[in-house]
Every structure is written in C-alpha cells, then in structure tokens.
Chain A
Amino acid sequence: METIKDNSFFYRRLHSLLGIIPLGLFILEHFFTNSFAMQGSTVFNDKIVFFATLPYLIVIEIVFIFIPLLIHGIYGLYIVYTGQANQIQQSYYRNWMYLIQRVTGVILLFYIGWHVWTTRLSALFYGKEVSFDMMHKMLASPLVFWWMLLGVVLVAFHFANGIWSFSIVWGITIGPKAQKRMGYFTMGLFVILAVVGVRALYAFL
C-alpha cells in the first residue's frame, strides 16, 4: 500500500488545528476577559491579578499560546508564499476572502509581535506593570488606539473566516449549501467579535 513520504500534509493540518485550538479559543477568552474593563479599573485589575497568579503560568503561556502562535504564524507565512493571488483575473467572492485571510494573517504577525512585546514581554523583562492604567495611558496616543483597533478587527476577521475554511479542510462542511451557511455564521461571528473587542478597547479610554 502507498505510504506517505512527506510531512507537508501533517504540518498543514497542524497549522489548521492550531488556528482553532488553542489560538481561536484563546482569542475568545482574551476578548472576554478584556471586556471586564467595561466595569472599571478595579474589576479589570482583579482579573489581571487572577491570571498573573495562575499556577504554571509560564508553561501555559509557552505551550498553549507562544509555540502555537509561532508555528501557525511562521507556517502561515510559508503558505502565503506558496500561493499566487489572482483577484484581477478571477474576481470571485471566495477568491477575495482567500486573499484577505492571507493579508490579515501577515499584518497580524506584526501586530501580535508588537502587542506581545508591549503588554507582556516588557513586563516580564523590565518589570513594567500591566494594568488598566497602563492601557489607559498607552491608548491616549491616537496612533496606538487606531493600530489596536485595526488589530482587534483583523484578528476577529482572520479567526472567523478561518473557521469557515477549517470546516472544509477537516470535512465538516462538504456541500455548497453547508459552506454558504457556514459563511453566514462566520461573518456573523466576525461582526460580534469585532464589536466585543472594540467595546473593550473603548473601555480603557
């Protein structure tokens, strides 16, 4: 019987899975937790303390966030490199989504790099305190505010549209009707996630 001589299939499916578990789940948690900011600085700071005092925090962060992000991000760049967008010749809706998924992914690589540095690593290395107040000060700069707004909206899109293609890759949605319904569902999710994320961002102002 034919055996498989190459690992590209495995990496591709790993990339796909990591986009949902754990990265997608993390984004849901992240948006939700940040929404506590809407209830004021004390409530939000309490949550920060809760997370900062989790046992095995560093292990959880490295295994469930950092490594998956690195693998998904770097392999994602490779995937972008292997494709040749052709929207000019083939201007179909799904072909545009294909391109946007890639563009958002690449921008997110920069965004998440910056975000992890400013709100996590600099705290870890230089003992900078992460709090409601810190976010409030950071977001006072319009440039930072709009950049973060962009990041929130893009990740909401990338994750939601990712669920759409994930469902085909793994064989959950097969026919065009199922895929269309999933399309409505994921775009709905995009809007909801974006609204939740942007509201949380506004709460820090």
Chain B
Amino acid sequence: MTNTIRFKIKRQDSPDSSPYWQEFEIPYKAGHNVVSALMVIRETPVTRDGKKVKPVVWECNCMEEVCGACTMLINGEVKQSCSALIDDLDQPIVLEPMSKFPVVRDLMVDRNRMFENLKKSKAWVDIDGSWDIHEGAPRISQEEWDRTYIFSRCITCGSCLEVCPQFDKDNDFMGAQIIAQVYLKNTHPTGKFKSADRLHALMGKGGIAECGNAQNCVEVCPKEIPLTTAIGDVGRQVTFQVLKDWFGK
C-alpha cells in the first residue's frame, strides 16, 4: 500500500505552444478519483521536485459521468476522470489531453467539432415548423423505446472519436457519435420527417462512407451505446436513400 499518489501530467500552456511533462505527488486518501486528486494538486501546485508551477487546467462539471467534459487519456486509455478511481489505476498515473481534439490548455480540449457536426447533420428533432408538425405527444412503442433509449445517453464525450483510426484532427470525418445521433433522431416519430436531410448530410464529405469498420468506438463508449449497430443501420438507410435519389425521380 503506497501512502502517496503520483501523477505524470502532460501540460501545454496555450493552443500553439509545445507540450511538456510534470510530475506531482499528493498524500494517499481512500476514495480519490482523478478529478478530486487534480483538485488537491490545484490547492498546492508544486511538482515532485519542489518547483512551484501554475495549477493544472482541466474541465469538469457533473462529477457523475454524464457531462463528458472531463474526458482525457488516463494511463493511455480514454476515460472520464470523475469516474476513474485512483485505487484502480497503476502509478504513476499518466494524464494527457485527448489527442484528436485541439488542446486549449493542459488537459482541457476543444470538443466543439462534435457540436458543429450535430448541427451539420441536423441531429435534433424539430418540434415546430411554421405550423404544428404533430398532434399531441408522439407515441413510441415499448419495443422501439427499448432499442433506442440507450442512444439518447450519449454525453458527447468524444471517446469514440479518440480511438477511431479514421477520425483525425485534420480531416472531416464526423464519426460514430454523429451516426448514432442520426440513427436516434431518424427513428423518432417526429424526427423521422427530416430523415432524408440527415442522411444526405452523412452522404457528404466526412460522412458515413469514411468509416473503416475498425469498431474501436463501441469498445470504449462509457455509455455502452451500440455504435456499430447504428453504423450498420444508417448504412442500410443510406443505401435505400441512394436508390430513392437515383431511381425515385
């Protein structure tokens, strides 16, 4: 049993500066997770070799793995740092920002690309147009709900994109997260109205065709979303959409 917790943290002062490593050590306390340990480091930001440094910057909100903000690489694996318990981790615990998103500072990255892609793919449900587009609440069968509810648990954390060999800082691929959200919205009774629009967005640059079926996404999703099922299903929807587009008019 060690009586301290050791960290090796990858730091970066600004989006354009080069990263560097620093080591920290804090007293052991049972029940620590990575976020609570980072908070202890922030109180006295002194490295292991006694140098006083600027506190480590990271992002977090909910502390219960539903906001996605604290996602980072912990000992090389993409995880939410709030639910990463120190007792489960080998030391020194290596913390790095996700590699597929631009670093803002230290462990904080800019995940805006995911939100932009949600907009591009119209991954929402219009509840109103210039007139009412549904009467009363839309009904969803229990079977349908069983199948689709899990897709609504996406926390936009970016883990599925971090591990994807086809998703890269400099390309346009939208990735599993978007395909799963398009799947969800296309099954919704009111969301269905915009299916063709969403599929067309996924048939453009960075769309579903860029998927290479390495299937890492589904292995790491913290919300256990069946991402590869969404990819297969949207693949089928897109196949039929092509037939409609080419031979339907």
The answer, yes or no, to whether A181 is at the interface (CB within 8 Å) is: no
- A5 near B212: Cβ-Cβ < 8 Å: no
Q: Which of A48-56, A64-72, A80-88, A149-157 contacts B (4 or more CB under 8 A)?
A: A80-88
Residues of B with C-beta under 8 A to A97: 214
**Complex contact A98–B165 (CB within 8 A):** yes
7 closest Cβ contacts across the A-B interface?
A: A171-B236, A174-B232, A12-B209, A98-B214, A94-B215, A171-B235, A2-B200
Please measure, in the bound complex, the distance between the C-alpha atom of A3 and the C-alpha atom of B232, giving whole angstroms.
22
Among the stretches A110-118, A121-129, A162-170, A196-204, the one at the interface with B is A162-170
| Chain A, residue nearest B238 (CB) | A171
Contact present for B212 and A9 (CB under 8 Å):
no
In the complex, which residues 180-203 of chain A have their Cβ closer than 8 Å to any Cβ of chain B? none
List residues 194-238 of chain B with CB under 8 A from any CB of chain A. Answer: 196-197, 200-201, 203-205, 207-216, 218-220, 226, 228-229, 231-238
Residues of B within 8 A of A83 (CB): 165-166, 212
Q: In the complex, what distance in Å separates the CA atom of A86 from the CA atom of B161?
A: 12
Given A6-B205, A86-B165, decide whether A12 and B210 contact each other with a Cβ distance below 8 A. yes
B232 and chain A: residue at smallest CB distance = A174
Could you write out 18 A-B pairs with CB less than 8 Å apart? A1-B200, A4-B204, A8-B205, A9-B204, A82-B166, A90-B216, A92-B216, A94-B216, A95-B165, A97-B214, A98-B165, A168-B231, A170-B235, A171-B234, A171-B237, A171-B238, A174-B236, A179-B232
A interface vs B, CB < 8 Å?
Answer: 1-6, 8-9, 12-13, 79, 82-86, 89-90, 92, 94-95, 97-98, 164-165, 168-176, 178-179
- Which residues in window 233-249 of B have CB below 8 A to A? 233-240, 242
B interface, over-half SS: helix
B165–A9 contact, CB under 8 A? no
Is B55 part of the binding interface, using a Cβ–Cβ cutoff of 8 Å? no
Given A8-B210, A12-B209; A82-B235 close (CB under 8 Å): no
Decide yes or no whether B59 CB sits under 8 A from chain A.
Answer: no
CB distance from A181 to the nearest CB of B (A): 13
Known interface pairs A8-B209, A9-B204, A9-B209. Does A92 touch B236 (Cβ–Cβ under 8 Å)?
no
CA distance A84 to B233 in the complex (A): 25
CB distance from A74 to the nearest CB of B (A): 17
Q: Tell me if B76 counts as interface (CB < 8 A to partner A).
A: yes
Residues of A contacting B236 in the complex (Cβ-Cβ under 8 angstroms): 170-172, 174
List chain A residues, Cβ under 8 A from B166. 82-83
A94 touching B213 in the complex, CB below 8 Å, given contacts A4-B200, A4-B204: yes
Residues of B within 8 A of A86 (CB): 163, 165, 216
Known: A1-B197, A170-B235, A170-B236. A95 touches B205 (CB 8 A): no
CA distance A94 to B220 in the complex (A): 13
Task: Given A170-B239, A171-B236, A171-B237, check contact A82 B231 (CB 8 Å).
Answer: no
**Complex-state Cα separation, A85 to B167, whole angstroms:** 11
Q: Give B159-189 as 1s and 0s: 1 = Cβ < 8 Å from A's Cβ atoms.
A: 0000101101001000000000000000000
Tell me, rounded to whole Å, the shortest Cβ–Cβ distance linking A87 to chain B: 9
CB-CB under 8 A from B228, the residues of chain A are 168, 176, 179
Chain A hits for B163, CB < 8 A: 86, 89-90
Among A1, A79, A89, the one with the most B-chain Cβ atoms within 10 Å of its Cβ is: A89
Given the complex of chains A and B, what is the CA–CA distance between A44 and B76 in angstroms? 56
Closest to B240 in A: A171
